[in-house]
Structure 1
Amino acid sequence: MTVNTSSTNQNWQQLASKYWIQGDFSKAAKLYEQAIQQEPEVKAHYWNLGLLLVLQGEEAEAQTTWLVGMAEGEPEQMEEWTLELLEVLQAEAERQESLNTNSVAWAIRQHMREIAPQDPNNLFKIIQLAIKLETLSEQELLELEITQLLKSDSEIQVDTDILLKTIEALLNYPLFEPSLLDFIEACSHHTQKQKEFIDTLMLASVRIAYTENQPFFAIRLGEICLSLDSKNAEVLRAISPFYQNSNQYDKGIEVARQAYSLAEDLPSQIYSNFLVLRGLMTAGGYWDESLSAFQKQEELLLSLIQENPHSLDIVATLRLITPLFFQPYFRDNPRANRLIQNQVVRICQDNIQRHYLEAVEKYQQRSKDNAAENSGSKVLRIGYISHCLSRHSVGWLARWLFKHHNHSEFRVYTYLIGTSEVSFDPLQDWFIQHSDFVRKSAVDSAELAEQIYQDQIDILVDLDSITLDTTCAVMARKPAPIQATWLGWDASGLPAIDYFIADPYVLPESAEEYYSEKIWRLPRTYIAVDGFEANVPSLRRDELEIPGDAVVFFSGQKGHKRHRDTAKLQMRIIKEVPNSYFLIKGFADQDAIKNFFFQIAEEEGVERDRLRFLPDAVSEQTHRANLTIADVVLDTFPYNGATTTLETLWMGIPLITRVGEQFAARNSYTMLMNVGVTEGIAWTDEEYIEWGVRFGQDEALRQQVSWKLLRSRHTAPLWNAKQFARDMEDAYRQMWVNYTESK
């Protein structure tokens, strides 16, 4: 074909465009070659021919074509032609992106980068494309030199929308490197939309801190935001727990207090003060300050109950759930605690349901066909929802139910909240393998509730209670006809929860009076395990400078559980037992915990050198093996151990527990009863001390109880997870019968 007249000009261009769109680049290129021969002065022919050569992978030939087009031009012409070439490349790059041929778009933009290395927007696009291609590495990010460009004094034009989209893509990509933080910080000086920039970073920071387990990276994102707006209360509230979770307790408390000073409404004050309390309690040892923050928290919650707000936004609503968490750590008064908790979570549920009224009504109108099915033969769909089905206490204990479930009569659906696709947790993988269906979710409670509804779950079991707002937001919508809480913490008090699963011991009979849920008591125990794995111990008495004939008392709990009154009782035991030592272990601020116990030891007349503070073990298995260094374990009160108690009893070590009224104060009691040991159960402070002294002074008693515990492995309900699974399944079956008969 020869191109030689204006009348045919339009025809050949239409034909070239047709070939181009069809992907027949060689035919289109031939037309442009002929066009150049006929019209060598038309520069657009060179730009398009070069681009067609790029599309055919002929990179060098493309460069040559463009250089020929640029030949013998004046500086002003060269600048004009360069802009024309970039426009041609930009248009094709965008077309290829719309076709999802990202590798081609990336190649075109690399040519644009060679022509205009100072164009930040093209560099942003290259990053976006590399992310889509899953090829972006820290090295590639550095080689683009975009951070240096953004930090330079060069006059560059940054498209804020492209910048924000690039950052959002990067923060969803597993590249948690310092170079990325440097890049984001450099970007912060070029955004024209400060609020959107901060919102993008902080939304990602929550997922990065909790799901990706990168709190230090999340902290830096928050600090970049604060460099733009130092008094942004939302940022301060978000990063306070990041600091606390990375053991920077003082900084976390300081930031929480700053957030509280900026809080403008009651819900914000409640959540900010909770963060102060959380920091103090997690650190441990700050008893007086913690008590003051707790008292303030109750005053704020009572004000909320009095106001009874009905128009809270969803964020404020969800933030009212977790501030109830610390009540049982301060006092054993379930009537007072649950009165406040039940009223606050009712307010939360009312507001959640108002926001999602259409979904709630749909769930309420679920088909009655399921209820009409034969309750004796129906294969029940049991859903378990939690963010703890991993290397967490809930995960270690719940696995036995999953192991022994009868999958021919029960379909197990597992809803994992806050899971990362890139991290690997062997226990979480175990749960996935032992479930019939697994659904993973980030933190979108609406999406998760809808999935549960679509899965037609018959009984939904909450393992998080108020420890996670996402779980509560799901349960408040009631996507399943029957909903129960089991294992994790205590009952939530949400009106949408039908049952709280307990046993004959862990709650007194009077509990029915102050629980909003119906208490479903299993016949033996509310938890059972077949045992625990243990490695070789890493602790030796001689390395701790403890004599071989000494009596070793041990307490291993988080800082939350270090109640001053119980610590005083423990010190009195140490004082009364000659040649005894106290080993203290647990996640907390080590300096604060040491000062806490040293002060109490001094008050009670106990020498400091009788106390030992132990670091965390390298693994759960080693931690359990290290328990055998102890002669007696001293439980905490008013919040007992749970997993730690089970581990102690499995390892054959006598335990002394103080029994109270609330669920948290009766965990060790039910476990001792279900292992067949009553020695060490104290109903008063005086009995707690008496048992401690008696165990400390009576080696034969210690040996007798230890022998009982070891023998119980073969007979006790606590170590019979298979029977426990049958008891749970019987409960599920009866719950379903009750439901169908009520319809």
Structure 2
Amino acid sequence: MNTKNASNTLAQAQQHLIAGEYNQAAKLYEQAIASEPDVIPHYWYLGLMLLLQNKEIEAQITWMLPLADVEEENIPAYTQELTEVLQLEAERRENLEEFSLAWVIRQHIKEINSFDINNLLKIVQLSFKIDKFEGVEFEELEIIELLNSQNFVDLNLELLQQVLQQVLETPPFNKSSIDFIKSCLPYLINTPYFIDVLPAVMKIGHIFKLPATAAHLLRLYLNLDSNNLEILRHLAIFYQNAKNYSQAIETAKLCLSLSTEIADKIFAVHLILCNLVTTGGYWEEICSTKQELEALQQDLITSQPHALDEVRTLGLLTASFALPHLEDNPDNFRKIHNQLAQICQKNIQAIYHQEFKRYSERHISHRKTANYQNKLKIGYVSYALRRHSVGWLARWLFQHHNREHFEIYTYLINYDLGDEISQNWYVNKADKAHKLGIKALEVAEKIYDDEIDILVDLDSITLDVSCEVMSLKPAPIQVTWLGWDASGIPAIDYFIADPYVLPDSAQDYYTEKILRLPQTYIAVDGFEVGIPTLRRQDLDIPNDAVIYLSSQRVYKRHPETTKWQMKIIKEVPNSYFLIKGDAEEEPIKQFFYKIAEEEGVERSRLRFLPQDPSEAVHRANLTIADVVLDTYPYNGATTTLETLWMGIPLVTRVGQQFAGRNSYTMMMNAGITEGIAWTDEEYVEWGVRLGKDEALRQQVVWKLKASRQTAPLWNGKQFTRDMEKAYEQMWQSYIEGK
């Protein structure tokens, strides 16, 4: 075969290859080999054609034939030549998105050269694309060992980052995955690619809700950069979310020692305070830390910073979270908090100046053309529309909304794909639902694009993303409802309340206009109840004993309120106190034992209960109690509703702040005044009276059971009508320019 004919034959073979006609191409390469048996590349291509026909053994034999007759020192060069042929074909198949075929070809490259790190990484990447990744590939391919030994050249860092990103975004994580991540970090730490790794770790911790895994990954990073303040902050948060409170406190204290900016110090002290409160002990340190936080907040207000970055800005509002748990002084608290909220909003609007300007300009033009006759578009934004107190309580508003007059939109931040509450109530029952991540601008743009008329925030300062969204004011009317309390952000127009949950003087220290619904700011049609698992005999409590119960998260525990509760137990013979909450077991026990000893109550009268496996079982188990003792200065909310629904008498101390009046408004809207205390002494008196007077307890139980058919608290439909009237009033005021 002359050179011209050989060239034509190879060109035809290539055309057959591209056309997928592998058998015809193979015949042409066989002809080329017959004519030119010493031209080794012909064997490479013939073997490739056989491989593409699933004749893997024949392909391998074909590749081995020419190597049997060459000098040993020339084998590496020929092997490299074969690898390049297969590499080009694998890349061509990847470009054609024929990933399964590319994966097979790269497996053969691995057989030829098991140390080609880039090829091994490509195999893993392709495993994801064809849903074959099982988490054991790193060990089987010996990638981790190779990365740790650095026994390779020309590592493709971009490819390494892409594979790492895919691993980080694909839980669950096994030891092999963790070891791979660890082996990658030294290569990426000082490169532009590392910036893409941190968001993936945030996603693991916050969206996939694997804070312990996220903390482990950040610790690996700190091995390389031990004083990185941003990483330490995130690490402290992940420790806290993983309930590793001692490590969270230690890490937050390290953050504080490394901080030079006031905003950084505020956030570090906030983290320390939250974790101290959550452990339920160390009260002297809690008080001194609270004072330190308030002093730092005042220093920042005095300095009036206008150029804080996004991270520091958002930390300002969430740093106030713990304070109402410690003191009922809303006048003083809100004066400070509202100023922080104003600083926060100014900085966020400056950071996203163009977006904020665009939103504002449309609000101005929209007001001129607004039509009251159209359906109002109501948007609800929250991370808590899931298995969460807010998620359980907001359901009935979605159930009863009048769809002839209102279009309902939901913006689910940090959406949990596995949460049936989100799906069944807040996705399926919305006219349009957006399942979003944790980027505030993405959320704000969706709200703006949907042309929402009234945006309702259910998170308040419990989520910095929601605060950022509301600060940008993507909707012309913005409202806070149901969450922690009003956020104080000036861009929020209204705060939903009722005649009881805020005192008459509250408007003096709220920046939002307080809109009081006629009866109650919250109502539910009821709760799902399971089968009880608690028995008196299992707790070694006599059948004729009086059982008091307090079921709250530990950060709502206050030593002064706990003293009142111990006074009640001491005063009521044959009484026991069940304590249920979520914290480190030993510290919370010591917290209660210490106060019990001070008040002369035997430890044997206290019982500590674990969390129940589900909300429905928790509600069923409430019925073991004769009386529930509420917390103060931060009352129960969902727990109070559940207690009243189950027909159990409740003792609550009424405060001045929103969080200190939740149980009061709920009891009033259930038609119950027995157990409402206006002083510390009354709290103890009601607790003792309800414990000693069985007839009084039974009377309250009957009232609560009868209230299910009559009380505003259990009428979700009427509550929804009241909310809708409030929305219409807001809209009317808006289009009239008031």
Query: Fold conserved (TM > 0.5)?
Result: yes
Which residue of the partner structure matches residue 64 of structure 1? Answer: 61
Structure 2 residue 734 is the aligned partner of structure 1 residue 729: no
1:49 is matched with which residue: 46, 51, 55?
A: 46
The answer to whether the Cα contact below 8 Å between 1:260 and 1:268 also exists between their aligned partners in 2 is yes
User: Using the alignment, how far apart are the partners of 2:697 and 2:481 within structure 1?
Assistant: 33
Structure 2 residue 351 is the aligned partner of structure 1 residue 335: no
1:312 is matched with which residue: 308, 311, 325?
A: 308
| Amino acid aligned to 1:252 | A
1:696 is matched with which residue: 691, 695, 706?
A: 691
Alpha-carbon deviations, 1:377-419, whole Å to 9, x = none?
3111111111111111001101111111112221111111112
Pairing 1:352-367 to 2, within 5 Å after superposition: 352-366=348-362
Q: Does the C-alpha gap of structure 1 residues 348 and 13 become closer, same or farther in structure 2, counting only changes over 3 Å?
A: farther
Which residue of the partner structure matches residue 571 of structure 1? Answer: 566
| Amino acid aligned to 2:104 | A
The answer to whether the Cα contact below 8 Å between 1:574 and 1:582 also exists between their aligned partners in 2 is yes
Which residue of the partner structure matches residue 133 of structure 1? Answer: 130
Which residue of the partner structure matches residue 234 of structure 1? Answer: 230
Structure 2 residue 218 is the aligned partner of structure 1 residue 222: yes
Alpha-carbon deviations, 1:296-355, whole Å to 9, x = none?
111111121122211122222222221111121111111111112111121111111112
> Which TM-score applies when normalising by structure 1?
0.95
Which residue of the partner structure matches residue 397 of structure 1? Answer: 393
The answer to whether the Cα contact below 8 Å between 1:201 and 1:222 also exists between their aligned partners in 2 is no
The answer to whether the Cα contact below 8 Å between 2:161 and 2:188 also exists between their aligned partners in 1 is no
| Amino acid aligned to 2:84 | E
2:256 is matched with which residue: 252, 256, 260?
A: 260
Structure 2 residue 112 is the aligned partner of structure 1 residue 122: no
Q: Secondary structure at the match of 2:394?
A: helix
Structure 2 residue 534 is the aligned partner of structure 1 residue 539: yes
User: Using the alignment, how far apart are the partners of 2:61 and 2:475 within structure 1?
Assistant: 67
Question: What is the Cα deviation at residue 507 of structure 1?
Answer: 0.8
The answer to whether the Cα contact below 8 Å between 1:713 and 1:719 also exists between their aligned partners in 2 is yes
Question: What is the Cα deviation at residue 210 of structure 1?
Answer: 2.1
1:172 is matched with which residue: 169, 173, 185?
A: 169
User: Using the alignment, how far apart are the partners of 1:723 and 1:454 within structure 2?
Assistant: 31
The answer to whether the Cα contact below 8 Å between 1:418 and 1:442 also exists between their aligned partners in 2 is yes
User: Using the alignment, how far apart are the partners of 1:51 and 1:389 within structure 2?
Assistant: 55
Q: Secondary structure at the match of 2:378?
A: strand
Question: What is the Cα deviation at residue 144 of structure 1?
Answer: 2.3
Q: Does the C-alpha gap of structure 1 residues 30 and 736 become closer, same or farther in structure 2, counting only changes over 3 Å?
A: farther
- Structure 2 gap ranges (5+): none
Which residue of the partner structure matches residue 275 of structure 1? Answer: 271
Which residue of the partner structure matches residue 626 of structure 1? Answer: 621
Pairing 1:586-605 to 2, within 5 Å after superposition: 586-605=581-600
Structure 2 residue 652 is the aligned partner of structure 1 residue 669: no
**Greater CA deviation, 191-200 or 405-414?**
191-200
Structure 2 residue 519 is the aligned partner of structure 1 residue 506: no
Question: What is the Cα deviation at residue 8 of structure 1?
Answer: 5.4
Q: Does the C-alpha gap of structure 1 residues 372 and 15 become closer, same or farther in structure 2, counting only changes over 3 Å?
A: farther
Question: What is the Cα deviation at residue 182 of structure 1?
Answer: 1.8
Alpha-carbon deviations, 1:119-139, whole Å to 9, x = none?
222111111111122221124
Pairing 1:89-100 to 2, within 5 Å after superposition: 89-100=86-97
**Greater CA deviation, 437-446 or 538-547?**
538-547
User: Using the alignment, how far apart are the partners of 1:742 and 1:367 within structure 2?
Assistant: 12
| Amino acid aligned to 2:261 | D
**Greater CA deviation, 602-611 or 640-649?**
602-611
| Amino acid aligned to 1:592 | P
2:712 is matched with which residue: 717, 722, 726?
A: 717
Structure 2 residue 431 is the aligned partner of structure 1 residue 436: yes
Alpha-carbon deviations, 1:699-731, whole Å to 9, x = none?
111111111111111100000001001111111
Which residue of the partner structure matches residue 85 of structure 1? Answer: 82
| Amino acid aligned to 2:527 | F
**Greater CA deviation, 46-55 or 348-357?**
46-55
Structure 2 residue 648 is the aligned partner of structure 1 residue 653: yes
Structure 2 residue 303 is the aligned partner of structure 1 residue 301: no
Q: Secondary structure at the match of 1:228?
A: coil
User: Using the alignment, how far apart are the partners of 2:13 and 2:496 within structure 1?
Assistant: 73
User: Using the alignment, how far apart are the partners of 1:565 and 1:644 within structure 2?
Assistant: 20
The answer to whether the Cα contact below 8 Å between 1:202 and 1:221 also exists between their aligned partners in 2 is no
The answer to whether the Cα contact below 8 Å between 1:495 and 1:516 also exists between their aligned partners in 2 is yes
The answer to whether the Cα contact below 8 Å between 2:415 and 2:436 also exists between their aligned partners in 1 is yes
Alpha-carbon deviations, 1:240-265, whole Å to 9, x = none?
22222222211121121122222232
Q: Does the C-alpha gap of structure 1 residues 584 and 294 become closer, same or farther in structure 2, counting only changes over 3 Å?
A: same
**Greater CA deviation, 229-238 or 298-307?**
229-238
**Greater CA deviation, 633-642 or 135-144?**
135-144
Question: What is the Cα deviation at residue 670 of structure 1?
Answer: 0.6
The answer to whether the Cα contact below 8 Å between 2:280 and 2:555 also exists between their aligned partners in 1 is yes
The answer to whether the Cα contact below 8 Å between 1:503 and 1:522 also exists between their aligned partners in 2 is yes
Which residue of the partner structure matches residue 345 of structure 2? Answer: 349
Alpha-carbon deviations, 1:587-645, whole Å to 9, x = none?
11111111111111111121111111111111111111111111111111110000000
Question: What is the Cα deviation at residue 483 of structure 1?
Answer: 1.0
User: Using the alignment, how far apart are the partners of 1:476 and 1:84 within structure 2?
Assistant: 61
User: Using the alignment, how far apart are the partners of 1:535 and 1:424 within structure 2?
Assistant: 19
**Greater CA deviation, 552-561 or 159-168?**
159-168
Question: What is the Cα deviation at residue 141 of structure 1?
Answer: 4.1
Q: Does the C-alpha gap of structure 1 residues 70 and 398 become closer, same or farther in structure 2, counting only changes over 3 Å?
A: same
Q: Secondary structure at the match of 1:527?
A: coil
The answer to whether the Cα contact below 8 Å between 2:146 and 2:152 also exists between their aligned partners in 1 is no
Q: Secondary structure at the match of 2:687?
A: helix
| Amino acid aligned to 1:266 | I
Question: What is the Cα deviation at residue 162 of structure 1?
Answer: 2.2
User: Using the alignment, how far apart are the partners of 2:15 and 2:60 within structure 1?
Assistant: 24
Which residue of the partner structure matches residue 242 of structure 2? Answer: 246
Alpha-carbon deviations, 1:508-531, whole Å to 9, x = none?
121111111111111110000011
| Amino acid aligned to 2:237 | P
Structure 2 residue 642 is the aligned partner of structure 1 residue 640: no
| Amino acid aligned to 1:726 | R
Question: What is the Cα deviation at residue 152 of structure 1?
Answer: 4.9
Structure 2 residue 375 is the aligned partner of structure 1 residue 379: yes
Q: Does the C-alpha gap of structure 1 residues 511 and 426 become closer, same or farther in structure 2, counting only changes over 3 Å?
A: closer
Which residue of the partner structure matches residue 484 of structure 2? Answer: 489
User: Using the alignment, how far apart are the partners of 1:6 and 1:713 within structure 2?
Assistant: 96
**Greater CA deviation, 400-409 or 135-144?**
135-144
Q: Does the C-alpha gap of structure 1 residues 368 and 243 become closer, same or farther in structure 2, counting only changes over 3 Å?
A: closer
Q: Secondary structure at the match of 1:383?
A: strand
Question: What is the Cα deviation at residue 203 of structure 1?
Answer: 2.3
Which residue of the partner structure matches residue 447 of structure 2? Answer: 452
Question: What is the Cα deviation at residue 157 of structure 1?
Answer: 5.5
Which residue of the partner structure matches residue 575 of structure 2? Answer: 580
User: Using the alignment, how far apart are the partners of 1:578 and 1:198 within structure 2?
Assistant: 64
| Amino acid aligned to 2:164 | I
The answer to whether the Cα contact below 8 Å between 1:285 and 1:559 also exists between their aligned partners in 2 is no
Q: Secondary structure at the match of 1:415?
A: strand
Q: Does the C-alpha gap of structure 1 residues 53 and 264 become closer, same or farther in structure 2, counting only changes over 3 Å?
A: farther
Q: Secondary structure at the match of 1:366?
A: helix
Pairing 1:147-186 to 2, within 5 Å after superposition: 147-152=144-149, 154=151, 158-186=155-183
User: What percentage of aligned pairs have identical amino acids?
Assistant: 55
Which residue of the partner structure matches residue 601 of structure 2? Answer: 606
Q: Secondary structure at the match of 1:715?
A: coil
